Amino acid sequence: MIVPLTEATPEQAGGKAAVLGPLLRAGFPVPAGFVVPVEVYRAVTRRLDLPAVLSEHGPAEVRRLISSQPLPSDVLDEVEAALEGLGSHAFAVRSSASNEDTATASAAGQHDSFLAVGRAGVAACVSAVWASLWSDRAIAYRSTGLPEMAVLVQQHVDADVAGVVFTGTPTVIEASWGLGESVVRGHVTPDTFKTTRSEVLSRRLGTKQTRLDGRTPTEVPSADRDRLCLSDSQLLRLTQLAADVADHLGAPQDIEFALSNDQLWLLQSRPITAPLPTSDHTSEMPGLRGTGGSAGVASGTARVVRGPADFGRVVPGDILVCRFTDPAWTPLFGVVAGVVTETGGLLSHAAIVAREHRIPAVLGVPHATTTLHDGQPLTLNGTTGTVQPLTY
């Protein structure tokens, strides 16, 4: 029943595992693991009559039902044996839905994954990953069809540095201290690099104020905030590795990586679903410039959102202004005309989903939620990374 990662296929193991499995088999540095296949999800949910529950009670009740389901005893025995074989003190329990990491949809950040999980917590995390297929954000993200969920369990990598690579000419790399969740969720404005296989073309220092090493963010020491998190030699090794992955898979790739004790690890690779903005020009106006994360120009009313309690104030055509966008905020991307954040980078989930929705986004604008006022008219340019507010 349990599938070794090296044997993962799209039909049984979902998009994420089906890419990582062949890479591991080909000798790329992918953490070892296994997959709880789609057929287990089917078997567990078949008896729950989810369509009826969804119709009568909504997605929250569907999630509660799925989360409460224990793994079948035979599957649990196989999971325990597979965990023993991995021999790791901590594990990553990750979503691998049938609609993830495809050429047409990234599903970036839409389903739950859990890092640094102890052995006793793996089974409960599998059920929680299944349930995330029915979150409000995941339902809003998918326009048609109902994907199914496999769950990928791997050795957890204690990352010194992690981030995202977009292959191409040039290659774009964003990275920060600790686990990559800080970068992909936009909780930091990462260091940004542009490279080729032979040289580092540019380096830009981010504002890396926090890092994640387990489940609790900690402050980054000031000395580390003020220095780049990757050396030139590490950048060139990473660029070559990413290029080799893209060559092996036959298309440009969006890659998540980790660096631990100077060892590079591949955590995810998926096709690039929407191109990056072609300009990184920024405004000369202090406090109103950032990273152009999704191309285009939009004008509208600033709607400062500090959490889900504010979602009801957002109306079509507003410009979403926030500190960062959690994946739970994805439903807003189908409503707003553009996005401005205080933290985050070009390769964060928010930027990727904005590009897929074809709405402009400017990331990493310092003090955006206090410099811009709720109800204020403004124009943002997601190509040049500029925000132009209009005064009252």
Measured in degrees and rounded to the nearest 5, phi and psi for residue 116 equal: 55, 45
Pairs from 348-351 (Cβ < 8 Å, separation ≥ 24): 348/164, 348/174, 348/183, 348/184, 348/185, 348/186, 348/293, 349/108, 349/109, 349/184, 349/185, 349/186, 349/325, 350/186, 350/293, 350/324, 350/325, 351/186, 351/291, 351/293, 351/294
Alpha-carbon distance 204 to 175, whole Å? Answer: 11
Does residue 87 come out as left (phi exceeding 0), alpha (psi in the -120 to 50 range) or beta?
left
Q: Are 252 and 246 in contact (CB under 8 A)?
A: yes
Q: Are 79 and 59 in contact (CB under 8 A)?
A: no
| Cis peptide bond upstream of 366, omega within 30 | no
Element (H, E) at 201: strand 200-204
In our burial notation (b when 16+ CB lie closer than 10 A, e otherwise), range 363-386 reads: bbbeebbebbeeebebbbbbbbbb
Alpha-carbon distance 178 to 157, whole Å? Answer: 10
Which is nearest to 384 in space by CA: 275, 276, 279, 274? Answer: 279
User: Residue 194 has which token pair?
Assistant: 């542009």
Is 349 catalytic? The answer is yes
Cα dihedral: 315, 339, 110, 24 (round 10): 170
Which is nearest to 385 in space by CA: 257, 225, 204? Answer: 204
**Please, which residues have CB within 8 angstroms of residue 120's CB and are 6 or more apart in sequence?**
none
Q: Which residue has the tokens 């990234």?
A: 106
Annotated catalytic residue: which of 111, 156, 349, 357?
Answer: 349
* Beta partners for residue 218, in sequence order: 211
Q: Which sequence positions are flagged as catalytic? A: 349
